Structure 1
């Protein structure tokens, strides 16, 4: 296997639903939040749907590890069963003694009586019961109806059974069936998992490889990641299969980087994609012939036309289809096109091609089109295009020293532009409702907190400096240096200099005493309940025990450790979820 070749401790792209590898994108956190919200309703149905391989079972298993200890769970993995088989499966899962003749036809009533007696006893002991059905789109209508009837088992105050249905999009269609209206009306929470975006795909790769033990740079090139997302359409299971094969091929070849060609080769082996199948000799010969014809046509035009018409004619000849030529490939290198052609075309070249054009243009030529990467927030440019000639990134970053008090002051002005510098900003800021916070944990907490902060960087020669992290988009970080200059750099460029510390600010609630955890009673408890009520629809006033359960549910939904204590991380995410105005890494928010 390739684990040892890449220095990994375990397999990173297993298709097994291991909660350790759960990538908590925003929608995954939302899914966990909806599951917790539905569980708190203590009755009815909760619905989790998604495309094949979107991560439904993985989310459920992560949710299962965080369930309260006094919750009994019956898990149905094979939904293609009769009503009687379902009732027997539930009895076995809940360790209910089966009636002596449970296998005889028509024993459903006896099985329901046995279940009802068990559920009443469990309720008297303060226990609750959750029935989970995976692949629920395969349920027969009579079985779904029986599950509905089970949710009708109640005491004078509480329902005894709650049902979680996990399935593909067809499950939603099934519930729209007129006969299923009684079931659909009992759904108290539902969530549909979408596929991953391109940026989420990259973050997903980084997360899984980090969990697997990766300590060096990401072994996938940017173009390879874009190709993976396109081929897999953002589906995690397909991403796992493709990346596993691509890294195997890379290890077999002894190369530490996975490029687009390797991804295409891996895809041709694991997916049935006609566009990636091996090209036959006849087709290859036709492609070569067509390419040769195009080259001859371009050569003839450049010899016959005046220099000032060469560029336009070159583009025209290159864009004219030939009967023998193959369709243009999106992966054709831009640098293969003459610089004059790039200057005339309206499509901007890649960054590397742009540098080639600039160096190849003669003094008499018109200014070439400048290369640009994908748009960055606030109109920023990559650091290469901002750096002066001959400067290196290290010399720019470590050219000046930024004192800690100045780093906090600059950060405070993102929350309050009128903040006056002091010798100890963190002692002054609480008077303005702001608190300093420092954490250690790398990029994960930074993305989770989603707010500007400052980083301590140590260069290869031992020099240290502080930089402000003002923005984060994908693998690009927007940094403000000691001299006030702003650069946008790839995270991999600064990763060797950063030890994982992150220092930031947050807006604390009025009753916060600054001792680490907000009190869950009195005025602060009322404030907490009111904020949570905006999110979970619960009461605006709650007792300490009920409030702790709600905080725990919120923490699980946000990807935090579910300890039920409203500490700074929980309060920061609560600010974010309830719309408190604070700066973010995606853009600025007006302080108030």
Structure 2
């Protein structure tokens, strides 16, 4: 609609994948290097995770492009499969004939092993790439591990690339999957783009589309980066809508007004769209092709996102340009009417969402899931966690204490006199909540108005810990403490089971380095901070500096 107006050969910000617009930021290049290194080893698994829209597909396509020509690749794009369905899909991808009526797991395994050997004897490699791997069941993941058992004396015959959202990392921490986790030779978590990378990203896509002049100022890029939180797919949506708004206003560059309108139109503005999930937004827009499909139900999305505009005057020039501008205005008005209807539906959905969370069991199920344990809702409670070497900890103190603990937490909230439960999963520029099965972003102000400051977390105390460790104590917990501190402080462990003066000094040094009360006594908060540095794979509320 605006291509001729800005001198563009094609849409620079289409969310459809187009290899001509491939942009590899430094972190994308780093991710590619990690995966390539892992695949170059003796074989096994490599892991790529990241939030929706951060560019995992970009990295995977770049990885496929640089594979040797003698590599046969099997791709699984729908991972919601049973063990037999997975093996059948692998056979289909590797062009292996099989009997669809009678093949067993063993038959599939034998056929796949034969093809792997044939490729190896021919001097080639075989790779299996699975997207959206967080949806794989434990049974299917275990079957994948068994496939990587096929090997020669020097190398594995199958390399497996798992691509998924952050939940995949937690799933792989389950004890039942520990053998698979040990075979991961490289892993990388893809973060959103920085401000500088967003600026380069926008400039690159405009240049490929035929526009050399800057349409977005540096100051505008900073605002756009903040609104999209650095997620490329959302950046595309914003830029596309901002260019359309500038075109509708007869402007040759995008200004703050046009960007503000774009943010409002895709429900990213803070006052009216708190609770929006960017990942859901991007995925919804991609699949549905409609802007309104990108809304995540939010607690404050209660008013129209864009004020109604006056009816366009019928006195319109017959020129093609004016006709296009009229079409743009009419489209905007249709969207505004649809948004008003959407608001009512969102209010109803928010009420249903709260009603489904009036008991804490669903929140406990979600909290356990963040630690990698998927349990039935009937078993999700504090009474279960001791069986999986976790312990419940109830604390008070609001944001300050929760940030210090730095763990996902179950909280009780109250909205319009209704009490319900949620999981605070991440605390950054906004707070990410899990409510039911939905993820949502809210402001600190919104949360503070509904939260009294009490919360519960899961953590891993050392065996034998009864609340405090100090001089004179003995046992396994003391041994763990000395071993852990020695590891962090670069000292040779003494392997002592007695809490002596030297260990007290080690504790005091650690407390000073971590802005804790330096009394030489290891209490809950000291051990929580120590856990963050020892157990690098445990979930965190916010990233460590």
User: TM-score, with normalisation over the residues of structure 2?
Assistant: 0.49
Q: Report the TM-score, using the length of structure 1 for normalisation.
A: 0.45
Q: Which has the larger radius of gyration?
A: 1
